[in-house]
Structure 1
Amino acid sequence: MPHCLSFKPASPEASNGEDPHPHPSTEGVASTFNLSHELTRAFQTPSHHDIRSRLLEIDPTPENLELFLSQELKPNKESVQEALRDAKQTSLTQLVSTYFQHSENATRFCLNLYQNVHSARCHLYTPLSELFHGDPAIDEFFCNLAFDVFLKLDTFENPFPSPDSHSFRDTKLCLNQLKDKLDTRLHKSNSRVRILHHATVGSALCLVTAVVAVAGSAAVIAYHALPTLVVVAGPLCSPYLPHSFKKKELTNISQLNAAAKGTFALNTDLDTIDRLVSRLHTGIKNDKLLILLGLERGRDVYSIQVFAKQLRKSHVNHTHQLKFLVDHICRWFTNVNKSRSLLLEEILIPRT
């Protein structure tokens, strides 16, 4: 897994919430981009069942998994680049771009875990399933067969990373760092909106006070002085605070909320996957230890019976855990597609 991505934009893959419709008053987005079409594509996310069915059909080679990623990740990299092309580069657009990149890389990591599931099934648990098929008689023939199977399985390397593995730790660290940056940026935007609100209220009170004071002195003067007060008293009471600035901050908050919620959900999913992978790593490690102990005892019938009985129990448990991991990988796809689509919707919806 690559190291955490830099928060500096490598390419124009971000947005500041500008209106993407190609009309004369809008700049920055290619005129060929169609908002309605893009939102429709974004929300046509495959269901958990559909993703699982297609994932189980493929041979999980690195090439096939990369192709699967490009087809099933919604919106995919190309769609995001198309939607965010020519967007003004700000601290917010850098965060949004980073979110899309991190979520794509985390999804690629989950697909690599599926490749590990496939390896464990083919090279470890399928031979054990065949050995324990039905209710075989534990006799000398079975023990000799089991010993031969143990010899093959002893060469099989544990496909799952350890809980403290570099790649898995980096994946979680990237998402956690992004969540912290999104939370910090969201706090700043919320603070700015509150300041703008209080300043606007203060300006209005200041102007009303000035009008009332003049009106108390002379109603006629107040009548003639009102236009001047509107122009002069407002700037004197508070700085000029354009409505567009507050509107921009509210747009930023919507986008940051979508990204922060999505990142939190993905972190939660990744924690669940982490626990499953950790249990599988430990379980396979223990199974390999049993196999090694069985081989050290040679073709002793009693010893093979003992180790085969323990392996049969763990085999059932670990087979279920492999299924649970595949289910969570597919659920990850559903959640990451929903998260990415919601963020893209916030970016593309015209602001009035």
Structure 2
Amino acid sequence: MLECVSFKSSTPTTNSSPLPPPSHSHSEGNSAEEFEEDTSATSPNVSGEFHRALEAHSYNEIRSMVQAPPQVHHIDDEDSHHRHVLSQVLQPDSHSVHEALAKAKPKSNLTRLVSTYFYHSETASDFCLRLSRSVHRARHLYAPLSDLLAVLPASAPPLSQPQCDRAYELFLQFDREENPFALSRLHRLRDDFSDLKRDIQRDLRKCHSRIRLFRHSAAGCALCFVAVAAGTVVVASIVFVHAVVGFSALSAAPFCVTRQKRRELARLKQLEAVENGTLVVNDINTIDSLVDRLQTAVEGDKAFVRFALDRGRERHPIQEVLNQLRKNQPVLEHLLGDLEQHIYFCFYSVNMARYALLKAICSHQTP
């Protein structure tokens, strides 16, 4: 069974290393003997730590950290800022997870599944943080055109030549910039979580089967104790026989509920926690759909802009494209807002699942 560690604060150090990719070997070592129990350790006040962490690291705090303006001047600063924000947003952080898995047997199937979940959840948070930067770049891309549309009334007379020249220059600038959502695809991440969920459900079925077997064995063991006790006291008085039989039946159960069964029950709780963590794939599917719609919307606006650019500085095409961009603007902003909200909620869901998994590890550390 996996070991417990104390929870870190919500502001971990920025130099915590990311989790290494999990092993992709699908070991079938599913016996209860794979998991060692630390009988000398005692569980901390996990519930209090868990709730305090959630209260300190709420949805609004995540949004504030992600939206904080970066102080960057070149690409190295931007990468450093990204790692810093990720270390603040992702909880429990990588260092805490490494400590939790440090004493686990590296070849056990449970350790592999838990490690894989933590790796995928960190990858999801990293991707969501990059997507939030894409939202920022999209707003930056549209800002000059939005400013121009703000000073041009919707029912304005034909554009003046200076206005046409200004719009043409902004079109050139808009056309040169890449689509912020061109490479933002979550298909691989979604498939990773789906594969993990399939492996977990397979192990859950095996775990339930073993627990049922332990229950049947315990019942048979108790009957054997009763039979032996009854046979050994057959020459005694009726009252003495009843007393011995009752005592033997009661004392048989603790010996029949073996250490292996306790390990399996603890393992079951951890597998269930990992399975619940894979539900984040629903958030990923929603985000992927929004990203696809945003990519299509930006490409559509780029096509309109290129239509005007192909006709030079002609007033009528420029006027028509500006009118179309004005119509598309509210839809684009609504999609960007929706994507932001789902990104923040995905961060929050990932953190909830990571805390719940560590809580399951801690809660079942002591037999």
2:256 paired with 1:245: no
Q: Aligned partner of 2:96: which letter?
A: S
Please name the residue that 2:4 is paired with: none
Q: How many percent of aligned residue pairs carry the same amino acid? A: 36
Q: What TM-score does the superposition give when structure 2 sets the normalisation length?
A: 0.77
Alignment of 1:83-162 (within 5 A): 83-89=100-106, 90-123=108-141, 125-136=142-153, 137=156, 138-141=158-161, 142-161=163-182
Counterpart of 2:351 (choices 329, 334, 337) is: 337
Q: What TM-score does the superposition give when structure 1 sets the normalisation length?
A: 0.80
C-alpha separation in 1, matches of 2:22 and 2:79: 21
Is the Cα contact below 8 Å between 2:20 and 2:119 reproduced in 1?
Answer: no
Counterpart of 1:74 (choices 91, 98, 109) is: 91
Structure 1: gaps (5+ residues)? 10-14, 20-24, 235-239
The 1:220–1:34 alpha-carbon spacing in structure 2 relative to 1, beyond 3 Å, is: closer
Is the Cα contact below 8 Å between 1:18 and 1:348 reproduced in 2?
Answer: no
Please name the residue that 2:7 is paired with: none
Structure 2: gaps (5+ residues)? 1-18, 27-33, 73-77
The 1:42–1:75 alpha-carbon spacing in structure 2 relative to 1, beyond 3 Å, is: farther
2:318 paired with 1:304: yes
Please name the residue that 1:328 is paired with: 342
Is the Cα contact below 8 Å between 2:171 and 2:309 reproduced in 1?
Answer: yes
C-alpha separation in 1, matches of 2:57 and 2:101: 23
RMSD: 3.4
C-alpha separation in 2, matches of 1:243 and 1:295: 77
Counterpart of 2:360 (choices 330, 338, 346) is: 346
The 1:34–1:218 alpha-carbon spacing in structure 2 relative to 1, beyond 3 Å, is: closer
Alignment of 1:39-78 (within 5 A): 39=50, 42-59=53-70, 61-78=78-95
Report the Cα offset of residue 284 of structure 1: 0.7
Measured against aligned partners, the alpha-carbon deviations of 1:273-307 in whole angstroms (never above 9, x if no partner) come to 00110100111111111111111122222221211
C-alpha separation in 2, matches of 1:40 and 1:18: 26
The 1:132–1:4 alpha-carbon spacing in structure 2 relative to 1, beyond 3 Å, is: farther
The 1:131–1:338 alpha-carbon spacing in structure 2 relative to 1, beyond 3 Å, is: same
Q: Aligned partner of 1:249: which letter?
A: E
Report the Cα offset of residue 169 of structure 1: 2.0
Please name the residue that 2:16 is paired with: none
Q: Aligned partner of 2:283: which letter?
A: D
Report the Cα offset of residue 201 of structure 1: 2.2
Q: Aligned partner of 1:139: which letter?
A: L
